[in-house]
Amino acid sequence: MARADVVVQTGFWAVFRRSIPLLAILAAFVWACITIVARRTEEAPPGAIVIRIGHWQLEAGIRRSFDTLAEEFARDPQVRGKYGNRKIVVIQDAIPEGIYGQWATSQMMGETAPDLVEIGQGLPGSLWLQFQTRYFLPLTDIANAPNPFNKVTPEDHEELAARVRGTYADGSTVPAESRLTAEQGAERLAFYEELARVPFRLTYTDGMRNGYQEELQEYMRVPLSRATIRMFYNKDLLKKLTNRDEPPQDLATFLQVCSEIRSHRTPGGSSYTPIASSNYNMAMWGYGLFGSAGYDALVQADFNRDGTVGSDETYAAFRAGRLTFYSPAIKARFDIARIVSNYFQTGFNGLGRDDAVFNFAQQNSVFMTTGTWDAQSLVTLAEGKFRIGAMRLPQPAPDDPHFGRLNVGPILDEVGGYGFPFGLTRFSKNPECAKDFLLFLASRRVNERMNRDIGWIPAIRGAAMPRSIEIFAPVNQGMYSGFDFIGLGGDTNVRFNQLYESYLSKPEYTYKQFVADFEPFYLEKGLADWENQQRDWRRAILNNEKFLAAVRGTALAAGANADDPLWVKYRSYTAAHQITPEIGRAVQESILRNGPDRPVGPYEFLDAAKENIRRQASVGAADGRGGDSAP
């Protein structure tokens, strides 16, 4: 076999030429190192306290607001008093939503996560729960202590005095809506003092429930804002196409307006799409208008009488025949979904959030339903092109012949609508300072200012909303969904979504067909999904038991007495999570397999109750008082 001789050239230039690629890589590496070090030094001089904060809010307003507030935080006298003259630097890692889950995972695994991380995007809830267990520090200590940044300041006194006086210190007049009487001023001051005194958690409008992680029995997050769902509209286009300044609030007239909009042609010659939508926006409609149409189902399906109906109770109600697809609330929900989606763009279910925004920004659509978190972005997109308005979702009027009787109140805004929640990671090099920064952001004054700057709703009591976004104010009393199909998961979910998509997008696919295709499947195959759900629940029992063992072990090791908070927590958690829920599950299983043993729905009178009511009424009528006594 012939052997090729390889001639290796030697000498400086030959070696140099061969090494050029390697040298280039080396040079790039050194350059990158120098750049990173230089940038880091520039951002955070040696000796500075650096707080890194990771979030997915790419909106310019939010990043700018964080920067401004970080500077204010560093200058705050309390902060300077605590950390001396050390420079405090807050560095933001703003990560796009699409990759936030991967970013968070790699940061946690690599133990390089920022001090503060926004929680909740890009990963399933169960994974965020695991992350919080392993990589985040509990914030219960700060939740239970007063927020030092809520201390009443001379500026607060001066501001209240000015509002009572009617003129600010600079001589300008206080707007009429901000004026206070002397009594109101004193009340406001007392309220500010109360906020400064009470535990931080009680300064939240919801008692900081959304920062609490039930599975860990700890406060793990500090939410900074609230959000609601609203319909945004192009004011100029609405005027141009319908000669209206405001869209109608009742559903039937709103749909007429949509129809009118669609009859017009865009400059390109195609019809206007009344409502810009996508798979993402559909969920907003689902929660808001469509869901609330199903409120009445509560009467038949809230078996455990906790005021909400989960997918398991919905399934039990259907299996038991207490609900059918022709129950008024159920049918109304699907009818309204179909009527409204008739005015979405074709193929909306296959489109994403950006497609809907593009359609709206291009002025091909008049309306778009989304969360108030998108408001600022929409305003920025529309700047110089058109004016934007916002409204609550339209609802059937009381005299609506088809849906009026089901509409018994406003649409409830999402209860868990507290957002922008940050947790403190175990990797923080300055956990104390990071906690202080969170407390600073969640103090009344700062939370009000921050949310005013970014156009969101404050999460802290007493933090006022600007008048311009009053329409975003949460409605906390109203109708909400009385059933849930998709929460059952598994095959039920897949089948439902397939058929529902056809139902919404194919005019020839009737409700009757939808029911014929889905109902038998749901009743038969749903059982397997329900059983899976029960298995998940059973696994949760083991996790509860672990949690309880840790509390018990700690209490025993500490020699705590029976009244110690650890034992109180232990007993109350055991009763609520381990002893009685098993019976509730057994009751639900019995309903599925044997039907309910209560002859009427949970919000309907038993015969014995009716008898008692009649008896009391007759006794009351006989002795001239109202029938209002116990049996």
Partner 1 sequence: MSQHPTHHRENHRIAVLGALALGFALLLVSCKAAVDQSEPAELIEKGWQKFRLDEQGSAAHFFTSALAKLADARSKSPETPTEKRLHIQATYGLGMVWSLGRHGEDSAKARGLFAEVIALEPKGEMAPWAALAIVRDEHLPVKSTDPIDRTALREKYQKVLTGYPGTPAAEEAFAFRQSLFLQTLTTEDARTSLAEMTAYLKDHPDTRCQSALYGLISQANRTLHDDPAALAASIKALETKEVDPSNPNMNNIVEYYSIGLTAEYDVGDFATARVYFNKFLDEYPTDQRAFNVRRELERMKMIEAAHGDTTVAGELGMRPAGGPGGLPEGSVLTTAPASAPESHKGGQ
Instruction: Kindly tell me which residue out of 1, 2, 22, 562 binds partner 1, with binding defined by CB under 8 A.
Output: 562
Which stretch in 145-153, 171-179, 237-245, 296-304 sits in contact with partner 1 by CB under 8 A? 296-304
Which stretch in 173-181, 233-241, 444-452, 560-568 sits in contact with partner 1 by CB under 8 A? 560-568
What's the Cα-to-Cα distance from 256 to each of 80, 300, 338, 348, rounded to whole Å?
A: 61, 34, 15, 21
Instruction: Kindly tell me which residue out of 104, 208, 238, 361 binds partner 1, with binding defined by CB under 8 A.
Output: 208
Residue 142 burial class via C-beta count within 10 angstroms: exposed 0-12, middle 13-18, buried 19 and up: buried
CA 500 – CA 515 distance, rounded (Å):
10
Q: Residue 120 carries which side chain, given as an amino acid letter?
A: G
Q: Which of residues 251-290 bind partner 1 (CB under 8 A)?
A: 252, 255-256, 258-260, 262-263, 270-274
CA 569 – CA 554 distance, rounded (Å):
12
Instruction: Tell how many helices (H) and how many strands (E) occur in the chain.
Output: 24, 13
CB of 462 to partner 1, least distance (A): 15
Q: Tokens in use for 331?
A: 């049918």
Q: Which has the closest alpha carbon to 53: 117, 145, 104?
A: 117
Q: Which has the closest alpha carbon to 327: 312, 342, 317, 338?
A: 317
Binding status of residue 549 toward partner 1 by CB under 8 A: yes
Q: Which of residues 168-207 bind partner 1 (CB under 8 A)?
A: 201, 205-207
Q: Which of residues 121-140 bind partner 1 (CB under 8 A)?
A: 133-134, 140
What letter does residue 219 receive in the DSSP assignment? E
Given the complex with partner 1, which of 121 and 342 has the nearer CB atom?
342
Which stretch in 104-112, 230-238, 475-483, 486-494 sits in contact with partner 1 by CB under 8 A? 475-483
Instruction: Kindly tell me which residue out of 7, 267, 524, 546 binds partner 1, with binding defined by CB under 8 A.
Output: 546
CA 450 – CA 460 distance, rounded (Å):
11
Binding status of residue 342 toward partner 1 by CB under 8 A: yes
CB of 258 to partner 1, least distance (A): 7
Instruction: Kindly tell me which residue out of 188, 387, 402, 525 binds partner 1, with binding defined by CB under 8 A.
Output: 402
Q: Strands 229-234 and 212-213, how do they pair? A: unpaired
Contact 55, 92 (CB under 8 A): yes
Binding status of residue 571 toward partner 1 by CB under 8 A: yes
Residue 15 burial class via C-beta count within 10 angstroms: exposed 0-12, middle 13-18, buried 19 and up: exposed
CA 1 – CA 7 distance, rounded (Å):
19
Instruction: Kindly tell me which residue out of 44, 298, 463, 488 binds partner 1, with binding defined by CB under 8 A.
Output: 298
Given the complex with partner 1, which of 112 and 580 has the nearer CB atom?
580
Instruction: Kindly tell me which residue out of 116, 117, 479, 499 binds partner 1, with binding defined by CB under 8 A.
Output: 479
Binding status of residue 502 toward partner 1 by CB under 8 A: no
Q: Strands 365-371 and 229-234, how do they pair? A: antiparallel
- CA atoms within 13 A of residue 236's CA, in its CB half-sphere: 12
CB of 193 to partner 1, least distance (A): 22
Instruction: Kindly tell me which residue out of 17, 40, 75, 614 binds partner 1, with binding defined by CB under 8 A.
Output: 614
Instruction: Kindly tell me which residue out of 101, 120, 146, 328 binds partner 1, with binding defined by CB under 8 A.
Output: 328
Instruction: Kindly tell me which residue out of 115, 118, 159, 296 binds partner 1, with binding defined by CB under 8 A.
Output: 296
Binding status of residue 517 toward partner 1 by CB under 8 A: no
Instruction: Kindly tell me which residue out of 103, 131, 192, 212 binds partner 1, with binding defined by CB under 8 A.
Output: 212
Binding status of residue 408 toward partner 1 by CB under 8 A: yes
How many Å is the Cα radius of gyration of the chain? 30
Given the complex with partner 1, which of 152 and 198 has the nearer CB atom?
198
Phi, psi of 116 (to 5 degrees): -120, 130
Given the complex with partner 1, which of 56 and 318 has the nearer CB atom?
318
Total of chain residues touching partner 1, rule CB under 8 A: 135
CB of 80 to partner 1, least distance (A): 32
CB of 414 to partner 1, least distance (A): 10
CA 503 – CA 497 distance, rounded (Å):
10
Binding status of residue 611 toward partner 1 by CB under 8 A: yes
CA 437 – CA 431 distance, rounded (Å):
10
Given the complex with partner 1, which of 360 and 456 has the nearer CB atom?
360
Residue 176 burial class via C-beta count within 10 angstroms: exposed 0-12, middle 13-18, buried 19 and up: exposed
CB of 442 to partner 1, least distance (A): 15
Contact 444, 150 (CB under 8 A): yes
Binding status of residue 249 toward partner 1 by CB under 8 A: no
Instruction: Kindly tell me which residue out of 19, 35, 181, 324 binds partner 1, with binding defined by CB under 8 A.
Output: 324
Buried b (16+ CB within 10 A) or exposed e, 39-63: eeeeebeeeebbbbbbbbbebebbe
Instruction: Kindly tell me which residue out of 152, 339, 381, 473 binds partner 1, with binding defined by CB under 8 A.
Output: 339
CB of 557 to partner 1, least distance (A): 5
Instruction: Kindly tell me which residue out of 323, 382, 441, 463 binds partner 1, with binding defined by CB under 8 A.
Output: 323
Instruction: Kindly tell me which residue out of 16, 29, 191, 605 binds partner 1, with binding defined by CB under 8 A.
Output: 605
At how many degrees (to 10) do helices 328-341 and 511-558 cross? Answer: 110
